[in-house]
Amino acid sequence: MADKNTPTASKVRSVRPDLASIGGLIVAAGGIIGGLVLDGGNVSDIRQVTAAIIVLGGTLGAVMVTSPISSLIRAAKGLKSVFFEEVIDMDAAVDEIIGYASKARKSSIISLEEDLDKIGDPFLKKALSLAIDGTDLKELRKMMDLEIFQAEKRAEAGAKIYEAAGGYSPTIGIIGAVMGLIQVMKHLENIDEVGRGIAIAFVATVYGVAVANLFFLPVANKLKARIQNEVQVKELLLEGVGSIIEGMNPKLIRVKLEAFLDPGAKKKTVAGKETAGAGEPAAAKG
């Protein structure tokens, strides 16, 4: 059996609140409202339910026309990842690969079949399963690269929905402002109310621009960053499995996989004391 200390997917991945996303929204909203108050304004000046309904409802409707329902559902589910970050321990992922590489080098790649049920990452499990079944390395890479590409496209579809919403909402805000001005023009006989009515009308424009630049577009960019992180992890796992198939020395596999790590996060090198020996799982060290 695999060494009980070999890292598992539960140690590689964990979830925590994304303080950057939460704090960013608070800082942005606080800065805008704080500036308004310091300039002599009042929060009630921009608290207009009608404007919010026009902007949010109009934007949602435009996005629904643009995108298929499946993409809308995926985008809604993906919003969770903006505020809750999946932390991926790349060092632990490398250790996990080295553990499997050491076992395969010692007992053949077929011996990894007993570990498949313990692998939590579906991508790694599928890649190792194909390797154990004797799939040609070139064909395996082609299959797994296709899976990475398709997963990336599906995830990007969700990000594009928020990008589209960020493009529509300012325009919808302008529509809301024009609608408000139409109502103002009906009551020009009361000049005292005209100025107030114009101010209220432009709140829709503020809502449209604000929700686009403080929420929709930042969310789209954060989702894209999440996608790139996930792609990087899958590429690391695929490279590791390919190296196992090639029968590469675990020390050399570690050196190769360290290219995926941040320079400041590289804890293990061939010359380092923490590097695993050629015939033992990396996680068993120390």
Domain assignment present for residue 29? The answer is: yes
pLDDT of residue 174: 92
240-278 pLDDT tens trace: 999 999 989 999 999 999 888 877 555 444 334 344 433
pLDDT of residue 164: 95
Domain assignment present for residue 132? The answer is: yes
Domain assignment present for residue 131? The answer is: yes
Do 285 and 3 contact (CB within 8 A), yes or no? no
Nearest CA among 144, 16, 26, 171 for reference residue 80: 16
d(CA 105, CA 130): 17
pLDDT of residue 121: 87
pLDDT of residue 192: 67
pLDDT of residue 11: 63
Domain assignment present for residue 229? The answer is: yes
pLDDT of residue 179: 85
Domain assignment present for residue 126? The answer is: yes
Domain assignment present for residue 3? The answer is: no
Give the chain's residues under pLDDT 50: 1-10, 267-286
Domain assignment present for residue 4? The answer is: no
At 247, list the tokens: 């029968």
Specify the DSSP class assigned to residue 174.
H
d(CA 156, CA 202): 33
Domain that holds residue 155: 9-284
pLDDT of residue 146: 95
Do 163 and 217 contact (CB within 8 A), yes or no? yes
* Number of domains into which the chain is organized: 1
Domain assignment present for residue 61? The answer is: yes
pLDDT of residue 59: 95
